[in-house]
């Protein structure tokens, strides 16, 4: 897995860190697409993350704010023009607790 991440890293500075540890990144403000959901209504929701809680992402879409549970869903985030897909089950925690995990 580390080799696969290393092959993605082609930038320097913070962008290099971002690609190596995408699950510890702040998601608010990022463009996101729900790439998998057991709920057909949430599948394909696209927009900007406007808030995050322990269990949910709030996404501003063209149809308003959608509250999407992290559990069971998969997200594709645009991080510095790199699309990074993350399983929602891996980010179920408060944003600042994710940062603590990396220390």
Which burial class, exposed, middle or buried, applies to 86 when counting CB atoms under 10 A from its CB (0-12, 13-18, 19+)?
buried
pLDDT band at 12 (very low <50, low <70, confident <90, very high): very low
Instruction: Identify which has the larger pLDDT, 4 or 22.
Output: 22
Q: Would the pLDDT of 89 be above 80?
A: yes
Domain 2-101 falls under CATH 3.30.1330.60? no
Specify burial of residue 91 (Cβ count, 10 A radius: 0-12, 13-18, 19+): buried
């Amino acid at each position: 897995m580390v080799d696969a991440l290393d092959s993605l890293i082609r930038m320097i500075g913070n962008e290099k860190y971002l690609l190596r540890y995408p699950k510890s990144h702040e998601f608010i403000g990022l463009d996101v697409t729900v790439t998998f959901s057991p709920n057909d209504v949430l599948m394909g929701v696209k927009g900007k993350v406007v808030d995050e809680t322990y269990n949910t992402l709030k996404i501003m879409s063209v149809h308003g704010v959608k509250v999407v549970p992290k559990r069971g869903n998969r997200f594709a985030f645009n991080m510095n023009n790199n699309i990074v897909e993350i399983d929602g089950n891996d980010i179920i925690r408060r944003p600042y607790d994710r940062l603590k995990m990396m220390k």
